[in-house]
Amino acid sequence: MKAIRYHQIGDPTVLRWEDAETPAPGAGEVLIAVRAAGVNFADTERRRGLYDAAAPLPRILGSEAAGVVHSVGPGVDAAWVGRRVVAFTPACYAEFTKASLDVVFPLPDNVSFEMAASIPVQGLTAYHLVNTAGRVAKGQWVLVHSAAGGVGLLATQMVKALGGKVIGTVSTDAKAAQARDAGADAVLRYDQVEGEVPRITEGHGVDLVLDAVGADTWRASLKSLAPFGHLILYGSASGEVPKLDVDAELMPRSLKVSAYWLRSPHPAELQQRAMSSLLEDVAAGRLRITIGLQLPLTEAVEAHRRLESRATVGKVVLTV
């Protein structure tokens, strides 16, 4: 098969379109002919050696793919062959990828491969931030950083569906329009958070902050919280956050700080329920997927360049 691989860490140019061995599905696995693969910021961090750096090279990136089941491994019903599916599995920047059946989900007929490949990483992250870790309730104020990103756009829609109110942060006017279109009640530049959140919330502050930016937004995020507020860190795109002074920064307002990572062990039934909910909502039109950039798999270098330059909104997808 053909795949995008890298043999050394570095800038996007280390990604190569080359021959690779087609994986063989093992017991309980299927082989998927990939039609679309999602691209995530974590892929760029892996390529740069900043995340998951112990993985052996050469390596195929990607954590989510949609396509058609090509063959099955031992113990898997042959009826899976030919089914349209989406999977949350490694090594997806390729013509074929294998996946365990517990992370493979049948696709509704009206969900395209491109839309499906946009769901597993960003969709599950947004779902768990809002429903599992954040437990958003009606009337709560939620500050969503990177509101025009893939997770941000989905989280905004989910908060609004639960009756919450969203303040989104963005870096450009175009991204502000995207955030408003997703339902954000107010949209700010990052440097406006400290001054504007008290005004927008009439002195209350926000009940929840969803933050994947990290160092650049950390202090403003904490200051924006209402008493008993909760900040969830799920990434650090701008660098690691500073050390936290619990006595000075949390205790006076009884604040809570936590972290979320999609790779943490999740109960299988919870993950199944979350993914089923996402696919049903997308199929029914209740949840809109924004694909900001779609390129052929052969142009993975350009996809990484655009993603790292913050020139994209929503999801980046590679098609086969």
Query: From CA 116, how far away is CA 114, in angstroms rounded?
Result: 5
Q: What are phi and psi for residue 253, nearest 5 degrees?
A: -115, 10
130 in the same domain as 98: no
Domain assignment present for residue 187? The answer is yes
**H-state helical runs in 66-204:** 113-116, 120-127, 150-161, 173-181, 193-200
Closest CA to 207 of 221, 193, 194, 186: 221
Closest CA to 4 of 97, 116, 109, 77: 97
Are the beta carbons of 79 and 85 closer than 8 angstroms? no
Are the beta carbons of 279 and 302 closer than 8 angstroms? no
Are the beta carbons of 114 and 291 closer than 8 angstroms? yes
Quote the pLDDT of residue 311. 82
> pLDDT 10s digit of each residue in the chain, 320 long?
999 999 999 999 999 999 999 999 999 999 999 999 999 999 999 999 988 888 999 999 999 999 999 999 999 999 999 999 999 999 999 999 999 999 999 999 999 999 999 999 999 999 999 999 999 999 999 999 999 999 999 999 999 999 999 999 999 999 999 999 999 999 999 999 999 999 999 999 999 999 999 999 999 999 999 999 999 999 888 888 999 999 999 999 999 999 999 999 999 899 999 999 999 999 999 999 999 999 999 999 999 999 999 888 889 999 99
155 in the same domain as 109: no
Quote the pLDDT of residue 204. 97
CA–CA distance from 191 to each of 64, 169, 213 (Å)?
33, 9, 13
Query: From CA 56, how far away is CA 300, in angstroms rounded?
Result: 20
Out of 259, 276, 308, a domain closes at 259
131 in the same domain as 37: no
Quote the pLDDT of residue 310. 84
Query: From CA 28, how far away is CA 6, in angstroms rounded?
Result: 28
Domain assignment present for residue 264? The answer is no
Q: Are strands 104-106 and 141-144 parallel, antiparallel or unpaired?
A: unpaired
49 in the same domain as 165: no
Domain assignment present for residue 140? The answer is yes
* H helix or E strand, kind and range, residue 2: strand 2-6
Domain that holds residue 204: 122-259
158 in the same domain as 191: yes
CA–CA distance from 161 to each of 17, 64, 111, 234, 236 (Å)?
42, 26, 21, 22, 27
* The total number of structural domains that make up the chain: 2
Domain assignment present for residue 265? The answer is no
134 in the same domain as 96: no
3-state helix, strand, coil in the chain (%, to 5): 35, 30, 35
Out of 244, 259, 274, a domain closes at 259
Q: Are strands 225-233 and 206-211 parallel, antiparallel or unpaired?
A: parallel
**H-state helical runs in the chain:** 41-47, 113-116, 120-127, 150-161, 173-181, 193-200, 218-224, 268-284, 300-308
Are the beta carbons of 61 and 6 closer than 8 angstroms? yes
Are the beta carbons of 179 and 187 closer than 8 angstroms? yes
101 in the same domain as 135: no
Query: From CA 120, how far away is CA 271, in angstroms rounded?
Result: 10
Q: CATH number of the domain at 197, please.
A: 3.40.50.720
Domain assignment present for residue 314? The answer is yes
Domain assignment present for residue 312? The answer is yes
Q: What are phi and psi for residue 164, nearest 5 degrees?
A: -85, 175
